[in-house]
Amino acid sequence: MVGYFLLRLFTAAFLAAASFTYSAYAASAPVELDEGIRSLQNEWALIQYKTPEKRRAARFETLSQRAHELTTRHTAHAEPHIWEGIILGSWAGAKGGLGALSLAKRSKAEYETAIQIDSMALDGSALSSLGVLYYRVPGWPVGFGDNKKAEALLRQALAVNPDGIDSNFFYADFLVSRNREKEALEYVEKALKAPPRPGRKVADEGRRDEAQLLLKRIQSKADAPSQ
């Protein structure tokens, strides 16, 4: 059972959750940090969506080291903490097994630090990403999962970025996980209509594919005969 939850925790839906429009951040970021974040997000998308599954763990591990180095150099900024959290979570997904939970805890810590620094950074991405962890990680005594905390965080993320592809997708996915498909339909449709993010073509394409799959799940449940 634990293995099942950990597997579900880190499926392809896991953390592309930096659902931001990058230009607004880049205008005020130090040049080295700006370039570092761009490099991390581009490499993350290539690994997550264009790399064979068996090769992802090693590549995410390497990328996590680069992310940590950037965070160490710019620890007062929320953005590198967010991306280190995303990469740690994605590495956990590729790695699987009980080791995934320890990486999830490290990812959680990075998001919490980012929220303390600036909860609205990168369009509230730390809020959304932490919310995903809370509903995908098993609860006590195995993990720290908490559906109430998850929904509160996901709704906060939506308030910050109401039209974002990730903020809407993840809230829809949460609602489906709670058997609230009728509510989820509005948000998955909004995710599919979200405007493209500058420099995020690969990530946007991958997320839209996931949103389409989620929409089909919702529609198939709606079409299923009642018991």
Question: What does the domain layout of the chain look like in residue ranges?
Answer: 2-159
For range 186-215, the mean pLDDT: 94
The residues, ordered by sequence, that sit 6+ positions from 104 with a Cβ below 8 Å of its Cβ are 9, 10, 88, 89, 92, 133, 137, 143
**Which tokens is 221 given?**
């449940």
For range 92-106, the mean pLDDT: 87
Q: 20 near 197, Cβ under 8 Å?
A: yes
Instruction: Please report which confidence band the pLDDT of residue 92 belongs to, taking 50, 70 and 90 as the band edges.
Output: confident
Residue with tokens 């990403």: 129
Given this model, what pLDDT does residue 106 score?
96
**φ/ψ (deg, to 5) at 107:** -60, -45
- Compute CA 152 distance to the chain's CA centroid, rounded to the nearest angstrom: 16
**Which tokens is 9 given?**
């925790």
User: What is the radius of gyration, based on Cα positions, of the chain?
Assistant: 16
Which helix H or strand E contains 157, and what residues bound it?
A: helix 147-160
Given this model, what pLDDT does residue 225 score?
62
The lowest-confidence range among 90-99, 158-167, 210-219 is: 90-99
Percentage of residues in the chain with pLDDT exceeding 70?
Answer: 85
Q: Please tell me the pTM assigned to this model.
A: 0.86
Checking if the pLDDT of 74 tops 80, the result is yes
Checking if the pLDDT of 21 tops 50, the result is no
Given this model, what pLDDT does residue 7 score?
43
For range 90-104, the mean pLDDT: 87
pLDDT in tens, 27-45: 456 889 999 999 999 999 9
Amino acid at 193: K
Q: CATH classification of 2-159, choosing from 2.40.30, 1.25.40, 3.30.1360, 3.30.70? A: 1.25.40
Q: What angle do CA 153, 40, 170 make, to 5 degrees?
A: 25
Closest among 37, 95, 148, 186 to 45, alpha carbons compared: 37
Checking if the pLDDT of 58 tops 90, the result is yes
pLDDT in tens, 103-159: 999 999 999 999 999 999 999 999 999 999 999 888 888 889 999 999 999 999 999
